[in-house]
Structure 1
């Protein structure tokens, strides 16, 4: 596609997103450039790594939805950093503008902030009104958040904060790797607060936006308006707070903002990719305040949670995907939820464009650049129980339960047999895994299935099918 046509298509996509996103979102999206469009992929260029990560974390699903609406088919959206060499040495910000040498308001804003004096000048933000949800993503709610062992505590704590803002766990500090759900939980808190308390003022911003607004206040002499915005709200959510490290004037201003809100029993919610004690070049007075309330981490999701995330994605996007395909994808992408969901979108788009059925062979083909050399995961009991539960159309909890009905007990015995046969796990560990059972129960299950398969061709076929699915994973 010619560049002129590509620009026109991208303009339509941006217009489509304006129906759902607040105007401030386009401070990030307008600088994006369309690079290429193929049958299954749209490649977009960002100005730096910070922009790439922020857009991927906050707007990728909106872009994908808009692409599908404009072009008619789902496409994989790839984000690429443009002209990294030309921006080397600059601080991560979409546009670099020289700050004026104005004298700041007393005690808070300092223009001599080094690299901070070179930051994007964003459109002047509005003062937050009660019930204003323009900074929040309405798609990110507690109902759409998939919970599991890796995030149960953070999810429960976030709900407690949302139900009693300013009274429970203040400040609330979440940390974890990229793409694990921190941003989703932050928006979920904000959305729930406004649902329960429409009279409250809730503001969600990134640390970069916070910094850029400070620079703008310095340049335009509007520090009073800046303080009026940030110190007269009920719930402040700042994402990726680690990026204020080393920024003197940003930390100074946030220190006073934090104190004002905390003293007024207003809720402060922060997210980071690491705990407060590990954020380098963070002032000690801020570090200690971040640890005053509750600090919780979000781990990479386990296999069961990853499969649940894929099922949730498939349901919300009306994808028809077999369970064994979900297991296949989830067993190979184990650290990043956005990458996990992106892989599913890519598979469905690939199947649609090639007019083929979604199966594990197609997945291997569609994701060959993600899974080079056909690298397989080690067979684990988690994988075995997922395959068995999917095959017999029962819940994983049933395999762990005390239920003894044949439609549950026999699949459980088969799962135990496969765990004994395909892994190096000890008998006591297998028993513990299946609801805290004794190792003698595992021995009985193994012996029964081993004996039955010699005379039951149907069972032998089931075992062969299950082993084949497990080995494909």
Structure 2
């Protein structure tokens, strides 16, 4: 690289730095490299076509002023676009593009295969037009904080969500990871945060996307050889919400690209919100460097709602739907459907539908019929924490004692039973189970499971332990 080109560009950067926001400078000018200076033409290398388009649209005037100061009125700027080749070719792909700050060059003459004559934002959602770009948030306005009722089971997550919505990127909850079982309101809460941010900070670019769709977009970008465009699109988002992040498990390419996007957003004070069906410690086949970043902020669990919260959810649902229902029936449904909010609301909807279509009065008997179907068809989801609590209660000890290093026989057996049921009733790995039950390794869990199997077939008292705990966990 010519020293002259570098010194000219350094002088340009000094001028630009004094005239734009520090964050914009870091995002759009630090990645640029000076390549060469030929006569009055300075060649600079930019990471992607998207990057070039953005500079031309938003910073062409300041580029022209800074370069004219250095090279005079006949100054020219040539872009060299370095495309990351995802197919293993070590030679970088470059295109030389004269800057459109010269009247003799029109945007449509630029030698880039645009789909149409005017430059287009390289957006995974295919939102055309770089001028006054409006990225659709993909948020559902029906999911709000107003209809996300607070209870002991979700207070931490909801409060953290409100704090993030008030000051996105400005709290210690970055990233905010909301995790919990199916139907507990993870997606609802994630949308509610996004909706509230859009309301309070209309200037912020908010985007909600599922991890599955994010992965598909990444695969498409690799096929089309525009991976950098994909990355730069996500790097301009102010608030990125990714739902079901556990879907990235085993997808090393997508994890790698998300790692770089996450780092850029976090370093630039942008907010990242994630949802998952499991805590970071339980996520399998996710790279350690990514998991460590998930733990930078706050991981807030949504647990099964307690009875009072379930009653409040049902009352709120009925009120919103304009339906009246006897209090004893509401309480019966709330008492018998404990698994998650989705099934709770589903039972009420079924009850109303049965009553309406069959012209039956809503009675306890009708409620029993509906609830039985829901309970029968529901396979209970059990967490490792819940298993430890049930086993500890059964042996009349606290969870800390269960997890302790003591070798007392009855405590060791209780710990082994907790590990046995965790392996049997959850999808967690042996390493994950051991980590959560007293920070043991996978070999200890494997030994515990074999011990429980052996004692169940040879020790009558121990077999009773297994049977009793099985009943408690299946209630």
- The two structures have a TM-score, normalised by structure 2, of 0.52
Distance in 2 of aligned mates of 1:150 and 1:104:
49
1:153 to 2:153 alignment: no
Classify the secondary structure of the residue corresponding to 1:203.
strand
- Tell me, yes or no, if the aligned pair for 2:177 and 2:274 is still in contact at 8 Å: yes
Shift of 1:131: 6.8
1:231 to 2:230 alignment: no
Task: Select 1:360's aligned residue among 364, 371, 376.
Answer: 364
- Tell me, yes or no, if the aligned pair for 2:266 and 2:272 is still in contact at 8 Å: yes
Report what 2:210 is aligned to: 206
* Per-residue CA distance 1:132-160 (angstroms, 9 max, x = gap): 55410100111111110101111001100
1:137 to 2:140 alignment: yes
Listed as ranges, the matches of 1:262-281 within 5 Å are 262-281=266-285
* Per-residue CA distance 1:230-282 (angstroms, 9 max, x = gap): 11010001011111011110110000000110111100111111111210111
Report what 1:344 is aligned to: 348
Q: Summarize the Cα distance change of 1:371–1:249 in structure 2 as closer, same or farther, 3 Å threshold.
A: closer
Listed as ranges, the matches of 1:22-421 within 5 Å are 103=87, 124-126=124-126, 132-168=135-171, 169-371=173-375
RMSD: 2.3
Distance in 1 of aligned mates of 2:175 and 2:137:
23
- The two structures have a TM-score, normalised by structure 1, of 0.52
Report what 2:76 is aligned to: none
- Which runs of 4 or more aligned residues in structure 1 lie more than 3 Å from their structure 2 counterparts after TM superposition? 126-134
Greater relative contact order (Cα < 8 A, sep 6+): 1
State the aligned residue count: 257
* Per-residue CA distance 1:71-110 (angstroms, 9 max, x = gap): xxxxxxxxxxxxxxxxxxxxxxxxxxxxxx962799xxxx
Which has the greater radius of gyration?
Answer: 2
Can you give the 5+ residue segments of structure 2 that lack an aligned partner in the other structure?
1-84, 91-122, 378-475
Q: Summarize the Cα distance change of 1:133–1:102 in structure 2 as closer, same or farther, 3 Å threshold.
A: closer
Distance in 1 of aligned mates of 2:88 and 2:354:
55
Shift of 1:322: 1.2
